[in-house]
Chains A and B, each alone.
Chain A
Amino acid sequence: SQQGEEDPQALSIQEGENATMNCSYKTSINNLQWYRQNSGRGLVHLILIRSNEREKHSGRLRVTLDTSKKSSSLLITASRAADTASYFCATDIYLNIQGAQKLVFGQGTRLTINP
Chain B
Amino acid sequence: DGGITQSPKYLFRKEGQNVTLSCEQNLNHDAMYWYRQDPGQGLRLIYYSQIVNDFQKGDIAEGYSVSREKKESFPLTVTSAQKNPTAFYLCASTTQGRGTDTQYFGPGTRLTVL
Chain A residues packing against B (C-beta within 8 Å): 2, 4, 30-31, 33, 35, 40-45, 48, 50, 88, 90, 92, 94-96, 98-103, 105-108
Question: What is the minimal beta-carbon distance from A48 to any residue of chain B, in angstroms?
Answer: 7
Answer whether A102 and B48 are a contact pair too, CB < 8 Å, given A40-B110, A107-B40. Answer: yes
> A108–B37 Cα gap in the complex (Å)?
11
CB pair A42 B108 closer than 8 Å: yes
Which of B61-69, B74-82, B98-106 is the interface stretch?
A: B98-106
The distance from the CB of A2 to the nearest CB of chain B, in whole angstroms, is 7
Shortest CB distance A74–B (Å): 15
Tally of A-B residue pairs with Cβ under 8 A?
A: 74
Chain B positions within 8 Å of A, measured between CB atoms, are 4, 6, 31, 40-43, 45, 48, 50, 56, 58, 88, 90, 92, 94, 96-108, 110
For the complex with contacts A30-B100, A102-B45, 5 further pairs of A-B residues with Cβ separation under 8 Å are: A41-B108, A43-B43, A100-B56, A101-B97, A102-B48
Taking a contact as CB atoms under 8 Å apart, the answer to whether A105 and B94 are in contact is: no
CA distance A96 to B99 in the complex (A): 12
- Inter-subunit contact A92/B99 (CB<8 Å): yes
Bound form: Cα–Cα A5–B104 in Å: 21
Q: What does DSSP make chain A's interface, helix, strand, loop or mixed?
A: strand
Contact of B31 among A35, A94, A100 (CB under 8 A): A100
Inter-chain CA distance A112–B8, complex, in Å, is 29
Query: How far apart are B108's CB and chain A's nearest CB, in angstroms?
Result: 5
- Knowing A42-B90, A100-B31 touch, does A48 contact B50 (C-beta < 8 A)? no
Beta-carbon contact of A44 and B100 below 8 Å: no
- Verify B90–A43 contact, CB threshold 8 A: yes
The one of B40, B48, B105 in contact with A43, judged by C-beta atoms closer than 8 angstroms, is B105
CA distance A100 to B56 in the complex (A): 10
Closest to B44 in A: A105
Instruction: Give the residue of A31, A88, A96 whose beta carbon is less than 8 angstroms from that of B100.
Output: A31
